[in-house]
Amino acid sequence: MTINLFDAGIKFLLVIIFGIVSLKLKIVDFTGFLASLLVGGAIFIFGGWKWFVLILTFHIVAGLSTKYKYEEKRQKGVAEEKKGARAWQNVLANGSAAAFLAVVNGFIINDVLFAGYLGAVSTAIADTLATEIGLLSPKQPRSIVNLSKEVLSGTSGGVSLLGEIASILSAGLIGLLTYIIAAQNWNLQTALIISVVSGFFGSTFDSLLGATVQARYKCKVCGKNIEKKFHCEKHAIHLKGYSWIDNNMVNLLAVTFGSGVGILVFHLI
């Protein structure tokens, strides 16, 4: 494909504007802003506006869900840090599979690539909402690997009915939008099946990884079980999981998996 530089420039300018608004609204921090220029720019320029609308919808809905009842989540000790402003690792974890497929689509346009893209965006939104809405569940979440066992709110690998419902509805929203803007010549049923199935399996895969291989630590100072290497300004003790698999790595793997599910479902239906 030949890229029209003027057209690409206008698109990138729009991405910068959306980025600045997101930065002002504290949906991203400065590093997240820079990463979102990369992801958003690649998707808009190589995938086109319809692809961009879908990732933008994820970005807005994820941002709103993180802010939603933030104070309540903060008091429970389960809120995202920095008022929920996402850093570059989170943006790349959720957006790089999608950006990669968009760039490939710039050279070979193929329905399969879009199916993978839809799977990636559906997983990203399903997983984010499962967490952000699930945190507000009045019931204790249960471990995905042992549904009879209750776990602390905010624990990776914990699932709740409220979170699952939010997750499925949000993935369905991406499928519905795909149909409305006619991102592909697909009927509503195809778009919905791909988005909901990949969003469900992608976010479930995320929980499974979170419950099994994700690194867990114990703080030497306050004694809390945590998912980060540092706590109370000290190195924490490694309890279980692989030290290189943190929350963002789990997200990256899950979104890539969801993208594969999208492609598989596309072939099966």
Interaction site with Zn ion (CB under 5 A): 219, 221-222, 231-232
**185: enclosing H helix or E strand:** none
- Shortest reach from residue 138's CB to Zn ion, in Å: 27
Task: Give the C-alpha separation, 36 to 95, whole Å.
Answer: 8
Q: Are 188 and 255 in contact (CB under 8 A)?
A: no
Smallest distance from the beta carbon of 26 to Zn ion, in angstroms? 25
CB of 234 to Zn ion, least distance (A): 7
Which CB, 230 or 242, lies closer to Zn ion?
A: 230
Strand partners, 217: 226, 238
Cα separation, 217 vs 157, in Å, equals: 15
How far is it, in rounded angstroms, from Cα 262 to Cα 193?
Answer: 9
Cβ proximity to Zn ion: between 71 and 233 the closer is: 233
Q: How far is the CB of 231 from Zn ion (least distance, A)?
A: 4
N-term to C-term CA, the chain: 30
Nearer to Zn ion, 228 or 240 (CB): 228
For the bound state, the minimum distance from the C-beta of residue 156 to Zn ion, rounded and expressed in Å, comes to: 17
3-state secondary structure of 149: strand
User: Can you read off the two tokens belonging to residue 57?
Assistant: 């919808």
Closest contact distance (angstroms) between CB of 217 and Zn ion is: 10
Closer of 182 and 221 to Zn ion (Cβ)? 221
Cβ-based nearer residue to Zn ion, 151 or 219 = 219
Q: Which of 259, 264, 235, 13 is nearest to 118 (CA)?
A: 259
* Min dist. Cβ of residue 237 to Zn ion (A): 11
Q: Which runs of consecutive H residues, i.e. helices, occur in the chain?
A: 5-24, 30-42, 49-67, 70-76, 88-105, 111-134, 161-180, 188-212, 247-268
- Give the residue with the Cβ less far from Zn ion, 75 or 146: 75
241 backbone dihedrals φ, ψ, rounded to 5°? 80, 175
Cβ proximity to Zn ion, 82 vs 220, nearer residue: 220
